[in-house]
Structure 1
């Protein structure tokens, strides 16, 4: 005796194939959404957790539907249409979520201004006092410790980069060499060559009415946000876990060089931050550790966390090579205060 309610085998196979394809498309789409929100919109914390968890449960539900068993041809056809509209709804909802998060983060689509504009860097040529000047402009956007978005151009005259490099190379390496003296050599030379950065930071401070601490955090987070690079005096050998620039004398870029290339290791960053914050009358220092082979900034500002004392003043540590390390917060692997030593201070 034949069961008339039993679904057609071909229909069942089609339903499972169709459901599987829809589930794969949904999986790919949600992975792309998560990658875009993480690396382009740069959502973090609870927002990223909610989106990731929602994606997981949605995909889990969709894949469960792929394995369902229909008891009639009518259920098979209904299941195919349900799968199709379910995926459309998922695409629509997560597209709206992506747009909302992007808008709230202030990460709008960048319109290319020139044919040569690639990624976030461009060369701009201007005429000043009858002279043609080429500027390297890095378009930066980042979040401060409070989660507020900021945008600013790191604008450096191309000829100043050559001056900075020439000055760095001019430093004589002797047996009395000290990192503090070398850092000061670069800082003193490059200080007047960073006027565009000073002006840009000042404009943000005035527009957003930042207090002294907020302004210091604005500058610190702008440098923390930049991709870390190894800067080596020897050739790069390919084993480095981060991007690497080799054959750089003494393994460091001077402030102007770093501002133009955005390629810097720990002390490339601390020297630039030292110059920037000192310009705005902050009491800052550079501390190095032979044990950790690392360099950090110190800032004398009311805070909490780890600090080193000099002349009865507390200089709170600032990690410059990674995001979200607030003032006074050091990575655990370099957190022994006894291993850190002052090498340069801007206020005695």
Structure 2
């Protein structure tokens, strides 16, 4: 083999080898560097080429670099443009849901997926990919639509039926929280804060039993919410709620939609939790019985500290002043009831 052919072969092998190493590097750092995936991959690739050139003294031509980078942009970019986003464009990228396929239980499974990045109360950053199987979403939605409770039944019966039905369908979500728990080595308090701050970070949306109308049809806070975000409303939802699975499939949830989700997650991880409602405030919050300070509601000798889930940065036991009169709150459901 003459020197010219040998040089071409070595150049091609260098490109292939650089691609493999760059792929590995990209998979390791993509969760920790908050930049565009295409840009990050190209950076990994160029760093790898530089590294290989240093040890082999073999330089890849500019035309070869340009050719491969162009193909990489087209290949990686096509993956993102092929995703079917179904949330409004005026929501942030973190709130976009895409349908895709993941490999799970030795099979390819279609999921509603969204990547989230959020911070807890001391500024610690968490990242994760949260998936709901599309078949589980439609199953939960059907259950919700067909759910009929006698008028004599209470919110307790409604929440209990929904959370028990949805718990098995949240297995991929629970697994992601488990990995975050282990990866960050969180204690009991820190893990609860991580879960609640995750829910608080999702923008608030109104959930109506009837269809959503224009903002001008409402008053006060509802009107203000819809004026700021016309798409922050989902209507025709039975009982005026969404199930936890529905919520994590479209990221539209109000107070009790959120408390049901937090209740289901923390109950799974062994916490003593409760859902508290107020007919006076027309609001719902999560209650948790762990060592803490602040506003709490006593229930059968236990202190359930109230935790607001519809606004960011409210810590355990911290309640807005216009909602902190505990005489207006009552325990609806606990993990033992």
Q: Does 1:125 align with 2:101?
A: yes
Match of 1:295 in 2: 284
Matches of 2:106 and 2:173, distance apart in 1? 23
Matches of 1:170 and 1:332, distance apart in 2? 38
Q: How large is the Cα RMSD of the aligned pairs?
A: 1.8
Cα-to-partner distance string for 1:204-255 (whole Å, 9 max, x where unaligned): 1111111110001000000000010000001111114241111111111001
Deviation at 1:338, TM superposition (A): 0.4
Match of 2:261 in 1: 272
Cα-to-partner distance string for 1:87-117 (whole Å, 9 max, x where unaligned): xxxxxxxxxxxxxxxxxx9643454643224
Gaps (5+ residues) in structure 2? 1-31, 39-76, 86-92, 216-222, 227-231
Matches of 1:129 and 1:197, distance apart in 2? 15
Match of 2:150 in 1: 174
Tell which structure's C-alpha radius of gyration is larger: 1
Match of 1:196 in 2: 172
Deviation at 1:129, TM superposition (A): 6.1
Matches within 5 A, 1:11-26: none
Cα-to-partner distance string for 1:6-41 (whole Å, 9 max, x where unaligned): xxxxxxxxxxxxxxxxxxxxxxxxxxxxxxxxxxxx
Matches of 1:109 and 1:331, distance apart in 2? 37
Matches of 1:208 and 1:131, distance apart in 2? 29
SS at match of 1:342: strand
Matches of 2:174 and 2:273, distance apart in 1? 16
Q: Does 1:229 align with 2:156?
A: no
Q: Does 1:258 align with 2:247?
A: yes
Report if aligned partners of 1:106, 1:149 keep a CA contact under 8 Å in 2.
no
Matches within 5 A, 1:131-210: 132-210=108-186
Q: Does 1:345 align with 2:334?
A: yes
How high is the TM-score relative to the length of structure 2? Answer: 0.69
- Which of 307, 313, 324 pairs up with 1:318? 307
Once superposed, which parts of structure 1, at least 4 consecutive aligned residues long, lie more than 6 Å away?
none
Match of 1:213 in 2: 189
Matches of 2:104 and 2:183, distance apart in 1? 27
Are the structure 2 counterparts of residues 150 and 127 from structure 1 closer, same or farther at C-alpha, using a change threshold of 3 Å? closer
Match of 2:35 in 1: 108
Matches of 2:150 and 2:157, distance apart in 1? 12
Cα-to-partner distance string for 1:56-99 (whole Å, 9 max, x where unaligned): xxxxxxxxxxxxxxxxxxxxxxxxxxxxxxxxxxxxxxxxxxxx
Matches of 2:120 and 2:103, distance apart in 1? 34
Match of 1:78 in 2: none
Report if aligned partners of 1:116, 1:122 keep a CA contact under 8 Å in 2.
no
Are the structure 2 counterparts of residues 250 and 115 from structure 1 closer, same or farther at C-alpha, using a change threshold of 3 Å? same
Aligned residues: 244
Are the structure 2 counterparts of residues 219 and 128 from structure 1 closer, same or farther at C-alpha, using a change threshold of 3 Å? closer
SS at match of 1:151: strand
Report if aligned partners of 2:102, 2:109 keep a CA contact under 8 Å in 1.
yes
